[in-house]
Amino acid sequence: MRNVNIDRKTSETDITLSLELDGSAKALINTGNRFFDHMLELFATHGCFDIELSCRAENCPDFHHTAEDTGIVLGQAFRQALGDRAGIRRYGSLMLPMDESLIAAAVDLDGRGTLNFDVALKSARVGDFDTELVREFFLAFVRQASVTVHLIRMSGENTHHLIEAVFKSFARALSAACEMDPRSDGSVPSSKGTLL
């Protein structure tokens, strides 16, 4: 079972997370921001991950630390759940349409921690969520998970559609990369013999 439980408390946020990589798309999310909750629910659904996540940020004036610290904890959870990454597929990619929007997502569970976020968002806010926090979430995630992620806007104008397509495409690409490869002999998918 590739599952992890993490509790992280700072002076800014208090986060409790349970992650099951080989789940059935169960999500119980409460970050204090309904739009962000919805994106994380989509992430769990389309990645077939089981995620229970609670974040309290009572002393913060906005959702910056909520988004960033959630990315930190979720990234740490994936890194722990993947272990030495033996037997995984390692790579995953997807082109995902969301109405007029089209997002390309590519993931390499390479142990490096690099983000290429090439998604221009026209609106500064969706509801009470600052759209610049989407990149902050993904940047925190890739640094902690030690993965390479490319998220590229191929087309699209509606900010809500673009962000939704980003989370869905990322979930699908990450899920494919995390899958156990039935052709593998259980070794780490690298000619170096390690991904960390």
Asked if 49 and 19 touch (Cβ cutoff 8 Å), the reply is: yes
- What gap in Å lies between CA 123 and CA 133, rounded to an integer? 12
Give the CA-trace dihedral at 136, 142, 148, 152, to 10 degrees: -20
Strands across the sheet containing 27-30: 3-9, 14-20, 50-56, 27-30
pLDDT at residue 192 in the model: 82
CATH 3.30.230.40: does it fit domain 3-178? yes
Position 187 scores a pLDDT of 87
- Does residue 56 carry a pLDDT above 90? yes
Q: Which H or E run contains 20?
A: strand 14-20
Instruction: Give dist(CA 23, CA 106) in Å, integer.
Output: 21
What is the pLDDT at residue 190? 84
